[in-house]
Amino acid sequence: MAVPKRKVSKARRDKRKANWKLEAPNLARCPQCHALKEQHKVCKECGYYKGKEVVDKTAE
């Protein structure tokens, strides 16, 4: 069984955790209304995805 020879200091241990950070979502322009939307998702403004209307926004 693997056992460490020496205690890992807090600084050395915490260096591994330093690169866990949130990233901003990738945004793309909607080809229909040109609003910013998340990639591979239905546009919240117009309801279109890949050139087809998926959600009817006129009823709301």
Q: What is the pLDDT of residue 1?
A: 83
Q: What is the pLDDT of residue 40?
A: 94
Q: What is the pLDDT of residue 8?
A: 94
* All structural domains of the chain with their residue ranges: 25-60
Q: In the chain, what is the greatest distance between 2 CA atoms, to the nearest angstrom?
A: 67
SS3 assignment, position 10: helix
The pLDDT tens digits along the chain (60 residues) read 899 999 999 999 999 888 888 888 899 999 999 999 999 999 999 999 998 888 888 766
Q: What is the pLDDT of residue 60?
A: 61
